[in-house]
Amino acid sequence: MAGVTAARALSAAGARVVVLEAGDRVGGRVRTVRGFAAVPVEAGAEFIHGVTAATWAEVRAAGLRCQPVPYLRNSWFCLAGRNRWLPLHLLHPGAWPGFGVLRALRRAAGDAAGDGEPSCAALLAGRGYRGRALELARLAVSAHLPGSPEELGVAGLVADGVLRLERGLNHRVLDGYDRVPAHIAAGLDVRLGQRVTAVAWGPDAVEVTVDGGGAVAARAAIAALPHGVLASGTVRFDPALPAAKAEAIRRIRTGAVVKVLLRFRERFWPRRMAQLVCGTGPLTLYWPASFGTDGPAVLVGYATGPRARALSEAGADRAAEAALEDLARLFPRSRPRAGVTGTLFADWPADPNALGGYTYLPPGAAGAREALAAPDTGALLWAGSAAAWQPIADTVEAAYLSGLRAAGQAARLLGGDPPGPG
């Protein structure tokens, strides 16, 4: 998303632009599966977060249909071993101490700094949460992020805007999320199967080498590599990146995210269930591929952090089995295994073009995204969802906005007018 967004903006401003893509499609971790069900199903990014997201302009320009997914009033939670509609859980006195966790995180973030920043787990321990309150509090900080509360920094969590994901109305692109980057990439010189192995950069030129020995020389380049690939060291930079850039890459962490897509003969979950959040078990969340409609009986199992790492290590077959066993626990009156007609495992840690799901900031890493995005490497500029922090870090919208920012920097470097968002 970041790369094609930057490329289109620069092309519209009159630059000649080439996009080098390692995979066989555009979109990166936006991956839509067709043929698994009667509707497109998302194996990667799934939602437009909120009604003010900058990407809405592209969705409308492409003429795509969307569906609101009202999480706030249609969430089920499995807490203390019971699967119930969330408001019923919140009536239990054991849950009440956890209600202030988001406020406590914001307050603690204002006091946190540098190496003294606590992890989210340390904050929760200091507040003495137990039982249902502890389960709720841990889910509040880690359900959306690919790190455990022990791995997440308080200041980074707040700075990334992650707490905003608990509010607002999300939307699903019914025609498939991949139609958005495809719309942006239309007409661009996108070269697929071009895995970058080396980048030689200087103050006014860049040369990019791809697997097999080919090279592209340019007056400027924008690196929109996923952070997992950057951190792996598989791309060589000459000269070596400045210490501040290298340190930013080191401090940011890419965590594990996997999805288990499950197709059934018929639904066995509540028709109005927008998501089922699990305090324990092998998967973090489940949601139907179509909300509140007569769409296909497809559940998307979503796991982050340690749960995702375990499923990735177990492999596709075992991951599907674990999900079916878990669903039998969550819906004991149903027989999920007897009704399943297809499974698909999206293993992002094993994808060589991603090497993980998305990023988070551990304690002491606040400010690392700004350092990664900084234009401090001459004609080599930086974009990508890990290099953006507003309004919510490491989302499709963040990647999109980072592409526009980097395109503006490139236009100024080339001596032209900064491109607009059109």
The helix (run of H) or strand (run of E) holding residue 3 is: helix 2-12
- Check whether residue 290 and residue 214 sit in a common domain: no
Per the domain annotation, does 244 fall within a domain? yes
Are the C-beta atoms of residues 161 and 198 closer than 8 Å to each other?
no
pLDDT of residue 422: 39
Per the domain annotation, does 125 fall within a domain? yes
Per the domain annotation, does 104 fall within a domain? yes
Q: Quick one: residue 14, left, alpha or beta (phi over 0 = left, psi -120 to 50 = alpha)? A: left
pLDDT of residue 115: 55
- Check whether residue 305 and residue 275 sit in a common domain: yes
- Check whether residue 263 and residue 328 sit in a common domain: yes
Spatial CA neighbour of 322 closest among 262, 375, 374: 262
CATH of the domain at 344: 3.90.660.10
- Check whether residue 242 and residue 182 sit in a common domain: yes
- Check whether residue 295 and residue 379 sit in a common domain: no
- Check whether residue 266 and residue 403 sit in a common domain: no
Per the domain annotation, does 83 fall within a domain? no
How many other CB atoms are found less than 10 A from the CB of residue 38? 13
- Check whether residue 219 and residue 339 sit in a common domain: no
- Check whether residue 259 and residue 337 sit in a common domain: yes
Cα dihedral 3, 4, 9, 15, rounded to 10, equals 80
Per the domain annotation, does 86 fall within a domain? no
* Structure token pair of residue 394: 């490491």
pLDDT of residue 8: 98
- Check whether residue 263 and residue 309 sit in a common domain: yes
Quick one: DSSP state of residue 81? T
CATH of the domain at 243: 3.50.50.60
In the listed set 350, 372, 404, which residue is the last one of a domain according to the structure? 350
For 82-145, give the DSSP string. Answer: EEEEHHHHHTSGGGGGGGGHHHHHHHHHHH--GGGPPBHHHHHHHTT--HHHHHHHHHHHHTTS
Per the domain annotation, does 193 fall within a domain? yes
Q: What pTM does this model have?
A: 0.94
Q: What percent of the chain has pLDDT over 70?
A: 97
* Structure token pair of residue 307: 């749960």
Q: At which residue do the structure tokens 């690939």 appear?
A: 229
Q: Domain containing 288: what range?
A: 255-350
* Residues whose CB is less than 8 angstroms from the CB of residue 258 and which lie 6 or more positions away in sequence, other chains included: 302, 303, 308, 311, 312, 319, 345, 346, 347, 348, 349, 357
Rounded Cα distance between 337 and 320, Å, is: 10
Per the domain annotation, does 166 fall within a domain? no
Q: At which residue do the structure tokens 């969307």 appear?
A: 66
Per the domain annotation, does 54 fall within a domain? no
pLDDT < 70 stretches in the chain: 111-115, 166, 416-422
- Check whether residue 230 and residue 153 sit in a common domain: no
- Check whether residue 149 and residue 229 sit in a common domain: no
- Check whether residue 247 and residue 370 sit in a common domain: yes
β partners of residue 363: none
**Domain count across the chain:** 3
